Structures are given as structure tokens and as C-alpha cells.
Structure 1
Amino acid sequence: MPCIKPAQPENVKGINEETFIREGKGELKVMVENSDETMETTMSGSLKSVEEIAEMLGVEAREGRIEAVVDGVQVKMERGKLELEFESGERMRIEKA
């Protein structure tokens, strides 16, 4: 079993959608949903790898996927798709466009 480093609170605290995106070519669709509305936009760049994000959050990636709760946020990720669900019920999805 690989050694997992705990998430650093100072690193996890300031995380936003740009944290998961690598600048460069490609296009991503970002959707934010809450009980009242859904906002959708596109951004240039690509998602960081599952392994990079797992290390950043201090969780283990299994079979190329992440399913974990970090600081009250449910994180689900597979290659090309990331979903975050917050305690407030708000959800954010980032995926290849």
C-alpha cells in the first residue's frame, strides 16, 4: 500500500476550479449547479491528471479514479472529468468540452 501524505490545510483551503486546470491547449466545460440555477462556461486548458490531484488533496487514486471526501467536499474524478459536491449542496463539474 503506497504511503499517502495528508492534505495540507493551507493548500486545500484556497482551492478553486483553476487549481485543477493546467494551462495550455484544450477546452474545458465548467458547470456550477445549486438549487436555484446552473451556470455553464468554457475555459482554455486541460484537467490535471488524476494522480496530480490525488497528491494535491492527500488522497489515494485507485484504478485511475478518485472518490473521497476532503474537508467536507465530496470529490469524484476520472480521466477528463471532475465533480465536486459541497456541504451546501452546490456542485461543480469540470470536463472536457
Structure 2
Amino acid sequence: MPCIHPPQPETVREMSEESFIRRGKGKLKVSIESGGESLETTMDGSLKDVEEIAGMLGVQAEDGRIEAVVDGVKVRMRKGTLELEFESGDRMKIERV
């Protein structure tokens, strides 16, 4: 079983959506909902693996999924899709196209 490190709040606070994306081949759709408005865009790249993101956040992935709250942000991830829900109610979804 891989060693899971405890979350380091100062590291997690400095993360941005780019932290979860690997540059290179592939296309991602990024959807952001904030205050009743939504924005969608596509970008080049791919999501990092579930296990890799779990390690970055200091949480455990179960059955290839993450469902956790880290520093007040609800994180849900499965292969190809990452959803973040912030305390303000804003939501962001990154998914493979």
C-alpha cells in the first residue's frame, strides 16, 4: 500500500487548476459555474492520474476515485473527470473530451 502523506495546508492553498493538468496531448473541457453564470472552454492537455492527485492532496483514492474535502474544497474525481466545489458555491469541472 502506498504511503499517504498528511495534507500540507500551505501547499494545497497555493494549488491552481493547472496543478491537476499534464501538458501535452489530449483535450480537456473546463466548465466553471459562479454566481449563476457559467463559462466553458477547452484546452490542450490531460488530467493527472487519480493516484497522483490523491498524493498531491494528501488523501486516499478508493476504487480509482477521490471523494474528499481538502481545505474547504469538495474534491470528486474519477478517471477523466475532476470536480471541485468551493465554499463560496463556485464549481469547476475539468473533463477529458
Q: TM-score scaled by structure 1?
A: 0.95
Which segments of 5 or more consecutive residues in structure 1 lack a partner in the other structure?
Answer: none
Between the aligned residues of both structures, percent identity stands at 67
Residue 12 of structure 1 aligns to a residue in which SS? helix
Structure 2 equivalent of residue 91 of structure 1: 91
Separation of aligned partners in 1, 2:67 and 2:11:
19
Which segments of 5 or more consecutive residues in structure 2 lack a partner in the other structure?
Answer: none
Separation of aligned partners in 2, 1:5 and 1:51:
13
Pairing 1:60-79 to 2, within 5 Å after superposition: 60-79=60-79
- Superposition CA RMSD, Å: 1.2
Q: How many residues are aligned here?
A: 97
Residues 1:56 and 2:56 aligned together: yes
Q: TM-score scaled by structure 2?
A: 0.95
Residue 51 of structure 2 aligns to a residue in which SS? helix
Pairing 1:20-59 to 2, within 5 Å after superposition: 20-59=20-59
Extract structure 1 runs of 4+ deviating beyond 2 A: 1-4
Separation of aligned partners in 2, 1:69 and 1:9:
12
